[in-house]
């Protein structure tokens, strides 16, 4: 892919949001990205293919599960994109002449809108900040596989919580909330499959079993999701 094509790609809303979300989650799935950027799975796949051509992402596998993550180059692009987003979200500078000032303000609003639309995707940052130092210390005691899965579960719980609370504040009805939260049952199923796969591999290798805190954390997330869908 040429430099010009890469530039055009990340001046579009969906690819920009996809890049920021992948960087935020560190490792995710194409289906999850599709939901987060409000795009069809086919279109998301095309975006990811172009990002891979640019050397920004790579695909990795764990059994039958296909993950998406940023390359080192992709992480640098993410930082640059965040700086660009933050700059656009600042108030437009005062320029002599009301027409010019209005046009600049409008342009800043339109361009930054692409990133503002991704605020729900940034809910992971909020949930991570809530983790106390004590919880972090406990997590460091876990084996790497258990810690990774537990972090994914906690992030998913935080995301569900953020979206549900935001929907309640907006006064959305149950149908609307169900449309937003319903797909997360699939993510819980994927995490369950990941736990089973990890347990099977650890058993075959004679490794340390999955930590006893992992499954209860997933069950708690599932029950919370079910409660949100019922209320």
The model's pLDDT over 111-123, given as tens digits with 9 standing for 90+, comes to 444 444 444 444 4
Q: Which residues contact 173 (CB under 8 A, 6 or more apart)?
A: none
What DSSP element (H or E) covers 163? helix 144-169
Cα-based distances in Å from 225 to 77, 91, 201, 218, 231: 34, 38, 29, 11, 10
- Per-residue confidence band for 219, with pLDDT thresholds at 50, 70 and 90: very high
How far is it, in rounded angstroms, from Cα 51 to Cα 75?
Answer: 12
Cα-based distances in Å from 143 to 27, 43, 119, 147, 220: 18, 37, 32, 6, 21
CATH topology assigned to domain 1-117: Arc Repressor Mutant, subunit A (1.10.10)
Give the pLDDT confidence of 42-101 residue by residue, as tens digits. Answer: 888 888 988 898 899 999 887 777 889 999 998 998 888 888 777 766 644 544 444 444
Beta-strand ranges (E) seen in the chain are: 57-62, 65-70
What DSSP element (H or E) covers 231? none
Q: Are 67 and 31 a contacting pair, CB within 8 Å?
A: no
CB atoms within 10 A of CB 10: 18
Give the pLDDT confidence of 169-211 residue by residue, as tens digits. Answer: 888 888 888 889 988 999 999 998 888 888 888 777 777 788 8
How far is it, in rounded angstroms, from Cα 131 to Cα 127?
Answer: 7
- Residue 86 has a pLDDT of 72
96: which DSSP letter? S
What ranges do the domains of the chain cover? 1-117, 126-230
- Residue 90 has a pLDDT of 60
Q: Which residues contact 113 (CB under 8 A, 6 or more apart)?
A: none
**What is the SS3 assignment for 69?**
strand
How far is it, in rounded angstroms, from Cα 96 to Cα 78?
Answer: 34
Phi, psi for residue 62 in degrees, rounded to 5: -130, 100
Which of 166, 152, 164 shows the shortest CA–CA distance to 210?
A: 152
- Residue 6 has a pLDDT of 54
Give the pLDDT confidence of 5-54 residue by residue, as tens digits. Answer: 555 555 677 888 888 888 888 888 888 888 888 888 888 888 898 889 88
């Amino acid at each position: 892919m040429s430099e010009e094509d890469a530039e055009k790609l990340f001046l579009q809303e969906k690819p920009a949001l996809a890049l920021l979300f992948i960087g935020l989650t560190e490792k995710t799935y194409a289906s999850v990205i599709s939901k987060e950027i409000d795009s069809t799975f086919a279109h998301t796949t095309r975006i990811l293919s172009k990002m891979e051509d640019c050397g920004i992402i790579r695909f990795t596998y764990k059994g039958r599960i296909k993950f998406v993550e940023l390359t080192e180059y992709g992480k640098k692009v993410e930082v640059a994109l965040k700086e660009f987003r933050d700059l656009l979200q600042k108030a437009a500078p005062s320029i002599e002449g009301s027409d010019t000032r209005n046009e600049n303000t409008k342009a800043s609003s339109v361009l930054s809108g692409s990133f503002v639309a991704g605020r729900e995707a940034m809910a992971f940052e909020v949930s991570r900040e809530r983790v106390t130092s004590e919880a972090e210390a406990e997590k460091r005691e876990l084996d790497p596989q258990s810690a990774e899965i537990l972090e994914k579960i906690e992030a998913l719980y935080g995301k569900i919580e953020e979206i549900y609370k935001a929907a309640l504040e907006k006064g959305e009805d149950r149908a609307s909330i169900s449309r937003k939260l319903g797909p997360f049952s699939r993510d819980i199923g994927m995490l369950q499959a990941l736990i089973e796969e990890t347990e099977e591999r650890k058993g075959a290798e004679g490794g340390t079993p999955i930590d006893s805190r992992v499954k209860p954390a997933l069950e708690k997330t599932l029950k919370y999701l079910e409660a949100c869908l019922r209320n």
